[in-house]
Structure 1
Amino acid sequence: MTLVEFLQDLFSTGQLNVAGRLTPFADDDLQQAAAILLRIYTEDRLHLPNAAPAFSAEAALWSAQLLYHSVQLTLLRDLDETVVHTYLTDFRGPVSPAIIYSADLTLRYLPDLLQLAKGLAPADILVVRLQQLGQQWPFSFVGVELEGPLALASLLAHPALRAGYTDRVIRTGDLSRARQPEVTILVQEALGHYAAELWPEFSQATAPSI
């Protein structure tokens, strides 16, 4: 199962099919995968409320491979911590809005995988690693309960990502994120005078104490 085939299945049917062993991807496979990710980016950016950040093939390919290997590691339960950290590496380089959005094209599928991995083995190193990634890439992990600080600065600095993040917080009912001061204001602005009707729990949680 090549990376291209994996992405084709993912974006056409939502299925996650991977090879049964961990191996590097061929250069031509990566080049074709980058073309698929650019097409998905071109389609996906139309759904953002403002102009989308630029496309980063580097970030999109990194996250696509990370998702592929995360699926493999979820299935191959006998692999040790060294293998997990070898294949689920951090992104190398500064994280800009373009990096965040390009990586999100596939990172947005990791929360479901995290929930599956937690169900299989809550204390597993894979679960710990996916939670770490969630803290580093909060745009893609809205709705997931995470411990520790979230890297929000670059995300909230971009108009399209800021609006998209706010929408995801509201859509998933992620109250823990909505209660963060910098996000509370954004949610209040988005809901306006209808906050009590659209999200009663948020209104109650952020109502001033008497």
Structure 2
Amino acid sequence: MSIRSFLDELRESGRVRVGPPEPERACATPDLALREADGVLAEMDRDARRELAFEPPPLILPVARWAAALFQRACAFLVHREAGAGEVRAGLSRPCPEPPSPRAVYSADLVLRYLPDLAVLARARAPGDPLVGELVRIGRAWPLSSVGMPGVGPVETGDFLGDASLRQLYADRILERGDLSRLDGGLVSESLRASLGLAGELAPGVAAALAREASAAEACR
């Protein structure tokens, strides 16, 4: 399946069809094929902007293409189980073409936001599968996209928290998914308190954790 058709299905239904992963030596999707997905990625960008608070960073198409190819390959490894651990690691290790920044985080998230759903499917099939470990590694590297993923552990959010739109999106996802592991006692927690306001009943688990965090901080003064 072409990357364009893959993204069309992902965008429209969240359900995709994939062929077997290519051999490691051919794992780089040709640039021309990736560029054919630009129209769908632009539509995904427009969809995302309509739902975000404030003004999100500009789209970087090479990063969005990279994320799309990475995610398509991860889906292929989930469906076609013949690949060994080394092939899975090699197939999912191609680095992002841009250094970390709010623009890169936003652009990758257009596709990587589906990462937690893929991780659920991978764990259900085989919790000890190398694919699960690779998805966790990717989730740790892209914390905006991995909210709610078990096993990710501590994350570094400095690449995007300075952007008001992405900070609000991060807080919204934490509230929606109840991911208490993302509370940091700092800017993230402040954003969560501002989002909740007096409506703690909307996310009681997060509200209770924030209250405990505040009490602990007060006791240390």
Normalised to the residue count of structure 1, the TM-score between the two structures is 0.91
Q: 1:200 offset after TM fit, Å?
A: 2.3
Task: Give 1:34 shift.
Answer: 1.8
Residue matched to 2:147: 142
Partner of 1:11: helix, strand, or coil? helix
| Structure 2 residue aligned with 1:202 | 206
State the match for 1:61 in structure 2: 65
1:190 aligns with 2:195: yes
The answer on whether the counterparts of 1:71 and 1:113 sit within 8 Å (CA) in structure 2 is yes
2:38 alignment partner, SS class? helix
Query: Tell me, which stretches of 5 or more residues in structure 2 are unaligned?
Result: none
Q: Distance in 1 between matches of 2:76 and 2:5?
A: 15
**Alignment partner of 1:37: what SS?**
helix
Name the SS for the 1:155 alignment partner. coil
Structure (1 or 2) with the greater helix fraction: 1
Query: Is the Cα contact below 8 Å between 2:52 and 2:165 reproduced in 1?
Result: yes
TM-score (norm 2): 0.87
CA distance in 2, matches of 1:97, 1:138: 12
CA shift, 1:42, in A, is 2.1
Q: How does 1:79-94 map to 2 (within 5 A)?
A: 79-89=83-93, 90-94=95-99
In structure 1, the residue matched to 2:5 is 5
CA contact (8 A) 2:37 2:65 kept: yes
Pairwise CA RMSD: 1.8
Deviations 1:99-141 (A, max 9, x none): 1111111101111111111111111111101001111111111
Aligned to 1:156: 161
Shift of 1:194: 2.5
Structure 1 runs of 4+ aligned residues shifted over 6 Å read none
Listed one character per residue, the Cα deviations across residues 133-183 of structure 1 (whole Å, up to 9, x for unaligned) are: 111111111111234321200121111000111111111121222x32122
The answer to whether the 8 A contact 1:53-1:97 is kept is yes
Letter in 1 for 2:46: T
Equivalent residue runs for 1:2-151 within 5 Å = 2-22=2-22, 24-89=28-93, 90-151=95-156
Gaps of 5+ in 1: none
SS at match of 2:56: coil
Q: Identity of paired residues, percent? A: 34
Q: Tell whether the 8 Å contact from 1:60 to 1:103 is kept in structure 2 after alignment.
A: yes
Alignment length (residue pairs)? 208
